[in-house]
């Protein structure tokens, strides 16, 4: 089976520009496809960043849209950059299909925020905690597949120790730090979470049990923002064996508002650290 490459922020930006140029010209996808000698679904895939646009195709599209030469060169360079393969493309066969489209976007994100209701977020997981979570699946994966998944998760975490880590702000339900996962594994995981929260670019808040009902009781989410304002934010929702990306500005605005409500209801960062310490077996005080 041919797997879809994970889009980068550059690929999404190029797709959005090409889509905008076509609409400005008042052309249908069918018209553009006819002039290029391809099928309309090819134009659809390029404009949806579902496939890497060939330089020859982008060149032809820019000519059809009568783009000025100085702008054309900028967009062609963007197209060349968008075709560069990331580490995730080389091992895409080992990444679950529903997750492939997220990994490249996560790598490009300048900011990642969100809420988690059940487990420590993947970028914050220790390897032994991640293994314990994966071993809780109804059907255990083959050992080789399990090891591949763990390697990918650890590879993703390298971004946190890079020269340009993303700003991270996560709100965790208190259940995340209270749930017992393989005894000592959980204590070490919570200590790792405390260590990570000491970084200036990482903020962790706990939504305590006694905060009562809250607006995200139907599950977790991630909001990804990118360095260029022209790259639209994405909301990522994951469910068992599947995921959804939301890019509509109204949807993204709703989730940003939801996140603001959650972090307002959650304990402050210092109080959250004390609660994590307590859960890890440290202080008995909140």
With vertex at residue 47, the alpha carbon angle to CA 44 and CA 49, rounded to the nearest 5 degrees, is 105
Same domain membership, residue 169 and residue 243: yes
Say if residue 2's pLDDT is above 50.
no
- Looking at 82, 100, 132, the residue that finishes a domain is 82
Q: Which of 2-11, 209-218, 235-244, 260-269 has the lowest mean pLDDT?
A: 2-11
Say if residue 92's pLDDT is above 60.
no
Give yes or no for a contact between 235 and 255, defined as CB atoms under 8 angstroms apart. Answer: yes
Alpha helices, DSSP H, located in the chain: 9-24, 29-36, 40-47, 55-64, 69-82, 87-90, 97-108, 127-134, 143-157, 174-178, 184-197, 249-265, 269-279
Say if residue 101's pLDDT is above 70.
no
Q: Number of structural domains, the chain?
A: 2
High-pLDDT (> 70) share of the chain, %: 88
Same domain membership, residue 112 and residue 57: no
Q: What is the mean pLDDT of residues 257-283?
A: 92
Q: What is the mean pLDDT of residues 101-119?
A: 89
Residue the block writes with tokens 């000698």: 37
Same domain membership, residue 54 and residue 39: yes
CA 229 to chain centre: 17
Closest among 131, 122, 149 to 222, alpha carbons compared:
122
pLDDT band at residue 286 under the 50/70/90 scheme: very low
CATH of the domain at 29: 1.10.260.40
Q: Which of 41-55, 88-102, 243-257, 259-273 has the lowest mean pLDDT?
A: 88-102
The whole-angstrom separation of Cα 197 and Cα 227 is 23
Most confident option among 39-43, 74-78, 128-132: 128-132
Same domain membership, residue 21 and residue 116: no
Q: What is the pLDDT of residue 160?
A: 96
Tell me which residue range forms the domain holding 13. Answer: 9-82
């Amino acid at each position: 089976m041919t797997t879809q490459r994970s889009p980068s922020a550059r690929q999404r930006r190029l797709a959005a520009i090409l889509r905008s140029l076509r609409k400005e010209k008042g052309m249908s996808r069918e018209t553009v496809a006819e002039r290029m000698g391809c099928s309309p679904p090819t134009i659809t895939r390029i404009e949806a960043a579902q496939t890497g646009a060939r330089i020859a195709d982008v060149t032809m599209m820019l000519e059809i849209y009568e783009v000025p030469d100085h702008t054309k060169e900028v967009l062609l360079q963007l197209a060349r950059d968008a075709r560069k393969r990331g580490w995730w493309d080389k091992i895409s066969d080992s990444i679950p299909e529903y997750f492939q489209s997220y990994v490249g976007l996560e790598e490009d994100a300048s900011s990642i925020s969100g809420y988690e209701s059940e487990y420590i977020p993947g970028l914050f997981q220790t390897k032994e905690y991640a293994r314990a979570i994966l071993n809780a699946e109804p059907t255990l994966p083959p050992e080789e597949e399990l090891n591949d998944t763990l390697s990918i998760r650890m590879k993703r975490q390298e971004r946190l120790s890079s020269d340009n880590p993303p700003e991270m702000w996560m709100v965790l339900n208190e259940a995340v730090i209270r749930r017992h996962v393989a005894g000592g594994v959980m204590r070490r995981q919570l200590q790792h979470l405390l260590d990570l929260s000491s970084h200036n670019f990482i903020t962790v808040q706990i939504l305590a049990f006694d905060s009562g009902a809250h607006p995200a009781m139907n599950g977790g989410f991630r909001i990804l923002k990118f360095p260029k304002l022209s790259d639209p934010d994405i909301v990522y929702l994951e469910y068992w064996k599947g995921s959804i990306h939301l890019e509509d500005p109204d949807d993204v605005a709703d989730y940003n508002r939801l996140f603001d409500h959650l972090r307002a209801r959650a304990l402050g960062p210092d109080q959250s650290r004390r609660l994590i310490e307590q859960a890890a077996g440290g202080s008995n005080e909140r």
